Structure 1
Amino acid sequence: MRRRWYAATIAVALVLLDVAAWAEVVLMLPPSGQGVQESFAGHLRKDSRLAVVELGHQLVAEEQEVAALRTISDGLADDATEFETLAHHTHANWVVSPVVHLTDGGVRLELTAFLASTGRCETVARELDRDSLQPQVREMLAVLLRQEGVGTGALPWEKSPSALRSSPPGEKRIETEQTASSTQEPSRSFMPLLGATFGGSTTLARPEQAVGSSTAWQGGVRAGIRFGEALELALGLRSNIAGPKATGFDLSARYGFRISEGIRVGPELAPGGFVQGGGAQRTSLSLRFSLVGSLDITPHISIEAQAGDITWVATGEESLFLGGATLAAVARL
Structure 2
Amino acid sequence: MQRKAIALLSGGLDSTLAVKVLLDQGIAVEALNFTSPFCTCTGKNAGCKSEAVRVAEEFKIPIKVMHKGAEYLEILRNPKHGYGKGMNPCIDCRIYLLQKAKEYMHEVGADFVFTGEVLGQRPMSQRRDTLRVIERESGLEGYLLRPLSAKHFNPTIPEQEGWVDREKLLAIQGRSRKDQMELAAELDVKNYPCPAGGCLLTDLCFVGKVRDVFEHSDELNLRDFRLLKVGRHFRIGNRTKVLVGRNEAENALLESQVQSGEATLRWADGPSPLAALTGETTEELLALAGQVLLRYTKAPAGESAELELKVAGEERRISVVHALDEAAVEKLRL
Range into which the TM-score falls when normalised by the shorter chain: under 0.3
From the two aligned structures, give the one with the greater strand fraction. 1
TM-score, normalised via structure 1 length:
0.28
From the two aligned structures, give the one with the greater helix fraction. 2
